[in-house]
Amino acid sequence: MPQMSHDPDPGPVTPDPGASVVIQGAGRRVGRIVLRITLVVLAIVASAFVLGAAFDELDPASIRSALGALADAEILALGAMWAVWLACQGLQTAALVDTLPVRRGVLAFLGPTAVASVVPGPSDLPVRYRMFTSWNYSSLEAGLAISAGGIFSIGIKLVLPVLAAIGLLAFGAPLDGTMSTLVTVAIVVGAGLFLLAFVLGSERRTGTAGRILHPVWALTARMLRRDDPDHLSERLVTVRAQSLDILRGRWLMATWGTVLSSAANLSLLLMALRFMEVPAEELGWPQVFVVFALVQGLTVVPLTAGNAGVAEVAYIGLLVAAAGDPFVNQVAAGVILYRVLTWILIIPVGLGALAVWQLGNRRSSDGSSDGSAAETRL
């Protein structure tokens, strides 16, 4: 009877170290995402406890009832204003990049903003940079456009509180307690902005400021164990020249986009409050503007992703202080509706924008590959 041949024992299987690294990296990313979402949820829960302790009249059932009573026409009006706000944001972004269409400006706003709405800090900047470079803009053009966009976005958030403070002082509004402190801070910020504009308005003054600040700059670099940096004076003058070059012919459109997007944002807040039956007699648009401006300044440095919890406490606290405690539930419902439009809704829509961008890149890559193959055959 013939003997059956057996394959030799392959021995123990050696795991692929590359696959292990990939799995570990994916696990860490998932863990970070879960941690960030947990922090956002905790911030919202903490804000609910703070508001509940501050306002005895706050009733979750009344808030849900007000939100549920939103009419179809009101939803359509909010949707239309939300679309206008996105278009203005796209205009601001596109104005700072040569020949960039507004539709791509909207994508470059939505996608990175969705990331920043979940991940705290300047997490949107690398995403926006990759989007610009994928559209065949150089690293220098992308970097300068992002820097200029940051100047406009942060600048308007710092200018608005100053305008609100000037308005309060001009009309002799009573300033007590927290409001007095906020107005004082806004005036100090305004003075700082004026000084910064004065310094950057001249190349000579910019260089002088760099020479004065260079010792502090160099000491900080040494403490962080960085290489000896370039002289701050030369760097500031170079950055100023590059910024002027990219903004030449574009600053007016970018300014209009910034102002219009802020106006649309304020309109969303005002519409949300009115649709939640907060009467204009108790909370007029000037008061809403003052609160909006102050909160924009308070949240210029995001403490949490999307300013979760912080913005809700600030908006509801200041608006109720202006309207009165009897309207706390209507105000809370309006703020929640506003935050859904300007924060929560941005996350899924922004992720969709990122998917559209990646699909466009894939099609462009496939088209380039087909073209290269055709040239090779020829």
Q: Is 372 helix (H, G, I), strand (E, B) or coil?
A: helix
The CA angle 258-262-266, to the nearest 5 degrees, is 170
pLDDT at 16: 54
302: pLDDT strictly greater than 60: yes
Mean pLDDT in residue range 103-118 = 93
Pick from 194, 192, 166: nearest CA to 289: 166
> What are the sequence ranges of the domains in the chain?
60-363
23: pLDDT strictly greater than 60: no
pLDDT in tens, 40-78: 888 888 888 888 888 888 999 999 999 999 999 999 999
Least confident of 3-12, 51-60, 337-346: 3-12
Is residue 110 within 8 A of residue 350, CB to CB? The reply is yes
- The amino acid at 273: L
End-to-end alpha-carbon separation of the chain, Å? Answer: 63
292: pLDDT strictly greater than 90: yes
Of residues 31 and 277, the one with the higher pLDDT is 277
pLDDT in tens, 156-168: 888 888 888 887 7
Least confident of 207-211, 224-228, 373-377: 373-377
Mean pLDDT in residue range 310-326 = 90
In order, the DSSP letters of 156-215 are HHHHHHHHHHHHHHHTT----THHHHHHHHHHHHHHHHHHHHHHHT-HHHHHHHHHHHHH
pLDDT at 89: 95
pLDDT in tens, 252-269: 888 899 999 999 999 999
232: pLDDT strictly greater than 60: yes
Which residues fall within 8 angstroms of residue 179, CB to CB, at 6 or more apart? 168, 321
317: pLDDT strictly greater than 50: yes
Alpha carbons within 13 A on the beta-carbon side of 279: 5
Residue 336's H or E segment, with its range, is: helix 328-339
Which residues fall within 8 angstroms of residue 313, CB to CB, at 6 or more apart? 47, 50, 51
348: pLDDT strictly greater than 90: yes
Is residue 250 within 8 A of residue 92, CB to CB? The reply is no
pLDDT at 258: 93
Pick from 79, 87, 84: nearest CA to 107: 87
Pick from 317, 299, 321, 296: nearest CA to 308: 299
Is residue 304 within 8 A of residue 241, CB to CB? The reply is no
Of residues 39 and 112, the one with the higher pLDDT is 112
pLDDT at 373: 45
Mean pLDDT in residue range 12-33 = 59
- Banded model confidence at residue 208, pLDDT cuts 50, 70, 90: confident
Is residue 82 within 8 A of residue 272, CB to CB? The reply is no
Question: 5-19, 217-231, 300-314, 345-359: which has the highest mean pLDDT?
Answer: 345-359
Interatomic CA distance for residues 273 and 285, integer angstroms:
10
Interatomic CA distance for residues 138 and 141, integer angstroms:
5
Pick from 156, 136, 132, 134: nearest CA to 144: 132
Q: Is 282 helix (H, G, I), strand (E, B) or coil?
A: coil
Least confident of 96-110, 267-281, 290-304: 290-304
pLDDT at 375: 47
374: pLDDT strictly greater than 70: no
pLDDT at 228: 57
Is residue 117 within 8 A of residue 305, CB to CB? The reply is yes
pTM: 0.79
Mean pLDDT in residue range 86-101 = 92
Average pLDDT, rounded, for the chain: 82
Is residue 240 within 8 A of residue 206, CB to CB? The reply is yes
